[in-house]
Amino acid sequence: KKFQIKSKNWSYHDYRDFSADVFIPTIKSFIKNKYLNCRVGNITDNILKINSNLFIDYSKSEYISEELDIYLLFRSKFFVGTGSGLDKIASFLRVPMLCINSHQLSYMPHYFHKCIYVPNNYIDLEKNKLISFRDQINPNYKKDRITGRNISKYVTTDEFIRNNIKIIYNDPDQILESSKEINLLAENKFNLEKKDQKLQNSFWNIVKMKKISNNFFISPSFLRKNIDLL
């Protein structure tokens, strides 16, 4: 957006920004398994330095078009991304999706056909501790004095700053692990162990949200590493 409408201050969306370099280990791993990896998007900041004929940075291509954007999604085995717009198209096309660096827990897209969802972590800087899922959805915990929204509904950078909250984005290892999970889900080979099913149930009991899709899961690897959030 900052390239398309330069006169507007887009800093209110800065909280969504993270480096595309976090995808590199995942791309290299799937290249080893002979997967063709395609980076989509009509405007991107940096160049992913991956030297392989199984990686295409379509975002830097001269062939970009809205029609090709949609066609590439349609032909994909699965899509990895954030709530950037393309995720809605992937959902409409019923393409399995890995949602990473996900904010707004209250607006979780649990209607997606096949989805592995990976939330961000948050640190309460005043208490120097991770914020649990229960606190994230608590309407009175870190309720913003101006907007009245709680953490699970923040949509501006200022809300995080005013309430002394630090965002911990998904790291390369987490993205790689959850990419393996969505690959299994796309192949109908995704099975939860009993302990993972218990963690899933605990999560849904906390957020008190009924899943619409039976194939929507919080990343098992994320929950295993973040049991304290439950």
pLDDT tens profile 214-226: 999 999 999 999 9
Could you tell me if 56 and 72 are in contact, meaning their C-beta atoms sit under 8 angstroms apart? no
pLDDT at residue 2 is higher than 80? no
Q: What is the pLDDT of residue 22?
A: 94
Residue reference for tokens 């309460």: 124
Q: What is the pLDDT of residue 211?
A: 79
pTM of the entire predicted model: 0.92
Q: Largest Cα–Cα distance in the chain?
A: 53
Could you tell me if 142 and 124 are in contact, meaning their C-beta atoms sit under 8 angstroms apart? yes
> Mean of the pLDDT values across residues 130-159?
95
For residue range 50-61, list pLDDT tens digits in order. Answer: 999 999 999 888
How many angstroms from the chain centroid is the CA of residue 222? Answer: 12
Q: What is the pLDDT of residue 9?
A: 82
3-state secondary structure of 182: helix
pLDDT at residue 126 is higher than 80? yes
Closest alpha carbon to 102 in 211, 18, 220, 199 = 18
127 vs 94, 124, 164, CA distance in Å? 42, 6, 10
pLDDT at residue 86 is higher than 90? no
Q: What is the pLDDT of residue 128?
A: 95
Query: Rounded CA gap, 167 and 154, in Å?
Result: 12
96 vs 31, 41, 71, 73, 181, CA distance in Å? 19, 18, 15, 10, 11
How is residue 9 annotated by DSSP?
-
Here the tokens at position 219 are: 């990343």
> Mean of the pLDDT values across residues 17-40?
94
Here the tokens at position 168 are: 């911990």
Average pLDDT of every residue of the chain: 92
